[in-house]
Chains A and B, each alone.
Chain A
Amino acid sequence: MDVPLAYYLCLSAALFAIGAVGVLTRRNVIVVFMCIELMLNAVNLTLIAFSAYLGSIAGQALVLFVMAVAAAESAVGLAIVISVYRNRQTVNIDDINILKW
């Protein structure tokens, strides 16, 4: 393991920040979804890096659960997108503001 743990943490923080920028600036709800997946993956990288450096399997088990939650989230989320598109003919989050006040 020649690469210091700090480098992995920095890479993961960079991916997380890029994902956060995408979530906050993009208007297409599917792209926002993909940015959330990117942020989840950045966290996964942190967990796996710590798991490798601490020699513990717990971090990797947690990553498996994160993957399951991400799969569930994307299935339900995309179903909501299809349902909204059927009613409003749009995927722009500026137009989907019925729950906002």
Chain B
Amino acid sequence: MTVESLVFFFLAAFAVTTAVLMILERSPLVSAIYLIANFFALAALYLLLRAQLLAVLQIVVYTGAIMVLVIFVIMLLNLGDEARGHRRVDLRTAVTVVLAAGFLAEVAYAVLGRGGRSPLRGPGPPAEALGTVESMGDALFGKFLLPFEITSLLLLAAILGAVVLARRRG
């Protein structure tokens, strides 16, 4: 087992553990902390996949901007722990978990199964410097220029929408 697969399995276990803890935790603030830990694990996985710019953006945008906003709102509303559900909720939880496990088994069978003939099983081609700032810039300001510009319109609309919605009326 190489160093890379060791790092992968450690990060994968860490990501899954923090995700499970996040949905089990009753305090929204602690949930948010677990999600931030999960985002750091994902950023490290992006580095493993040679997506350097996106690994940095994952930390800056997700943990730096989005999660800070979420934690800010949690603290602003001064939310307490979520109340324990009653019986009806437990039935719903059971059905949901069974469905999710079924989905996971289906995907695992599709990508891992078929007796090793699937091309997804073997190691991939040697990756070059794929996700550097330079190559991402080339793609974003060349081939993906129009979607990139439309993104700015989307962000503008989101800013205006957030201001209008959160403004105190009267």
Contact = CB atoms under 8 A, between A and B. Distances in A.
Interface of A: 1-11, 13-22, 24-28, 30-31, 33-35, 37-38, 41, 44-45, 48-49, 51-53, 55, 57-58, 60-61, 63-65, 67-76, 78-83, 85-86, 91-92
Nearest to B104: A17
Contact of A74 (B39, B70, B118, B130): B70
Given A51-B49, A92-B82, 7 more contacts: A3-B48, A27-B85, A38-B22, A41-B39, A55-B128, A60-B51, A76-B161
A51 B130 contact: yes
A27 B89 CA distance: 10
B92 A6 contact: no
Interface residues of B, number: 88
Contacts of B85: 27
A55 B118 contact: no
A2 B92 CA distance: 40
21 contacts: A1-B123, A10-B111, A14-B19, A18-B20, A21-B23, A25-B93, A38-B35, A45-B42, A45-B45, A52-B49, A53-B124, A55-B128, A64-B57, A65-B147, A65-B148, A68-B155, A73-B158, A75-B161, A76-B158, A79-B163, A80-B165
A6 B35 contact: no
Contacts of A76: 158, 161-162, 165
B125 A10 contact: no
Contacts of A4: 120-124
Contacts of B32: 34
Contacts of B73: 30, 78, 81-82
Contact of A9 (B28, B107, B122): B107
Pick the most buried of B45, B103, B120: most chain A CB atoms within 10 A of its CB: B120
Contacts of A67: 57-58, 61-62
Contacts of B53: 60
